[in-house]
Structure 1
Amino acid sequence: MIDVYVGDETSPLRAVILGTAVGVGDVPKMEDAYDPKSKEHIAAGTYPKEEAMKAEMEAFAKILEKYNVKVYRPEIIEDYNQIFSRDIGFVIGNKFVKPRILKDRKEEIQGIQYVIDQIAEENILNVPVDVRIEGGDVMPWKDHIFVGYSEKEDFDKYIVARTNREGLEFLRREFPDKKVKGFQLNKSDDIAKDNALHLDCCFQPIGENQAIIYKEGFKRLEDYEYLKNYFGEENLIHITRDEMYNMFSNVFSISPKVVVVEEKFERLTKILEEKGFTVERVPYAEISKMEGLLRCSTLPLIRDKN
């Protein structure tokens, strides 16, 4: 059995599902792409190739294994994108949540079913029919659960709106001992630099009490202000529009002191090292072309309890 537990984003990691690029298949047709960055690279002829993405993911796996993390990988579904395991399930406390996501991705959960089968049935939460929620929008953080979401007007309008008000309310019902705080995000189906696909595309806690943040990713100023007041401005690393586009906030914490970062993120790496973090650098630029990065491709199962 796997006794899942995740209380925050940074406590020492013991077990994780890392997605896979094996069998991802050919370049999708434009009409089959569901985020603006993928569309951009399909149009430009620069969409990533399977071999390049496999190499990037294996480099990430080696870093995780270096820190004695148990790494599970999805069973392969041919001609199917299984890279971004974050969205098809997530753990809060000792509960594994099986969300409802884009219908285009509904088969993805089959690749990790063998892992879910090792979790006690009473610790698995299935979301109701009207709830839409993806793991990239959900961040357990101590007494809080931070949630990126869209109100009905935006949710109905944008393909890139992935978590609805019902998703937010579901988490409030299921985790009444937590402060579930929703943040509306700016969305665009057409312009990647104006689109916060998930909360982790514009914000992520690191360390004990710090965070990376892109102010303009938030639809409402008061949502950004809430996080600024919660963490303290001196504990925020602000990133630019271009850095958000390149996924600077989508790093991955192995522990409060160890952060995995895309190897080309020179400015961020310098700041993190000056703050005392150990930075593990990994090539992930090809995967980033699909509007996801390191956090997106991981599904933490077990972190240490504080």
Structure 2
Amino acid sequence: MIQQHSETDTLQKVIIGRYENYNESPAYAELVNEEQKTGLPPREQLKEEFENFRNVLTEAGVEVLVPDYVGKFVYDQLTPRDIGVVIGEKFLLCNMVKRSRRYESAGIFRYLHHIPDSEPNIIIPDSPTCFIEGGDILIDKGNIFVAVSQRTNQEGVEFLKEQFGDVFNIVPIKARALAEGENVLHLDCMFNPVGEKAALIYEEGFEAVPREITDVYELIKVDKAQQQELATNILSLSQDKVISRDHPLCKPINDMIRKTGVEVVEIKFDAAPATGGSFRCCTLPLLRGQY
């Protein structure tokens, strides 16, 4: 079973990033994110932090899955969020921009095989120019928020309207471009619902914040330095609990989340953010429910 109608419903089953075999064949490495220009994290640090992350999820009652090793031509399987996304009871397999990431989906195929096939509920864009990445899609309160960004284009937005517009309200968001002095890679690096009615937001990343956000959420504002440390990129375990970085610039945001009545579990997590992704980027939820 797969299901997701809200970012903050209770997390029951999730695929997390694979640290094993990271950058095992450097000859196949492709610069995926700007952050990687400063160097790639050591595997020992990745191992320690991902195993701790997995233990925290398991202790919270979440079933944790890890992608299979795809091959040496995929050097980075840390951030499965972009591979696909569960929307309602369907799985959207994304078409990613970067060449080296397009094969990552093979690592989760065996989990997709377990999805009941009473209807065609695995959706794949037909057009090779239709780009969508899971980090640009957030589902909450009957809306699908989708960013037109470095990695998702307008054709991807139209595809979501075609596939899900009869059930969800599709809310396009235009992210500011690199040329405008911003390097917000995905929507979840500048917006993330928290608890029942709050949301983290980095307003400077938006060309315009839609009313579906400003009129609905109590906004916790993140500044540029905090955004660069991915303070927005938390993972909700439920409406009552989130996982966030144990980092000096994230702590003020974590304290503001606590003031909304949500428990914050702080975890040391520095290696993956050095490549451009934190807790939400490093997870692909398969099952969320209000149970």
* Structure 1 length-normalised TM: 0.87
Note the 1:1-306 alignment, pairs <5 A: 3-25=1-23, 32-39=30-37, 41-42=38-39, 47-79=40-72, 80-102=75-97, 103-121=99-117, 122-129=120-127, 130-150=129-149, 161-175=150-164, 176-188=166-178, 194-218=182-206, 220-221=207-208, 223=209, 226-231=212-217, 235-264=218-247, 265-305=250-290
Larger helix percent: 1
Determine helix, strand or coil for the equivalent of 1:172: helix
Shift of 1:229: 2.1
Structure 1 unaligned segments of length 5 or more: list them: 151-160
Shift of 1:78: 4.6
> Matches of 1:250 and 1:29 in 2, distance apart?
30
Partner of 1:153: none
Q: Give the 3 Å change call, closer, same or farther, for CA 30–100 of structure 1 in structure 2.
A: closer
> Matches of 2:34 and 2:76 in 1, distance apart?
16
Question: Partner amino acid for 1:228?
Answer: T
Shift of 1:89: 0.9
Structure 2 unaligned segments of length 5 or more: list them: none
Shift of 1:28: 5.4
Question: Partner amino acid for 1:137?
Answer: D
Shift of 1:291: 1.0
CA contact (8 A) 1:36 1:188 kept: no
CA contact (8 A) 1:24 1:78 kept: no
> Matches of 1:275 and 1:52 in 2, distance apart?
32
> Matches of 2:25 and 2:222 in 1, distance apart?
30
CA shift digits 1:77-125 (9 cap, x unpaired): 3542111000001100000111111222111111111101111342111
* Structure 2 length-normalised TM: 0.91
CA contact (8 A) 1:148 1:198 kept: yes
CA contact (8 A) 2:23 2:29 kept: no
Shift of 1:27: 9.1
CA contact (8 A) 1:23 1:77 kept: no
> Matches of 1:177 and 1:66 in 2, distance apart?
34
Question: Partner amino acid for 2:172?
Answer: G
Determine helix, strand or coil for the equivalent of 2:204: helix
Question: Partner amino acid for 2:103?
Answer: E
> Matches of 1:60 and 1:8 in 2, distance apart?
22
Shift of 1:226: 4.7
Determine helix, strand or coil for the equivalent of 2:275: coil
> Matches of 2:178 and 2:101 in 1, distance apart?
20
CA shift digits 1:25-80 (9 cap, x unpaired): 259589821221111x13xxxx3111111211111111110111111111123542
CA contact (8 A) 1:5 1:305 kept: no
CA contact (8 A) 1:260 1:281 kept: yes
CA contact (8 A) 1:20 1:73 kept: yes
Over 4 Å off, 4+ runs: 26-31
CA RMSD of aligned residues (A): 2.0
Shift of 1:269: 1.9
CA contact (8 A) 1:134 1:162 kept: yes
CA contact (8 A) 2:17 2:283 kept: yes
Determine helix, strand or coil for the equivalent of 1:285: coil
- Give % identity: 31
Shift of 1:275: 2.1
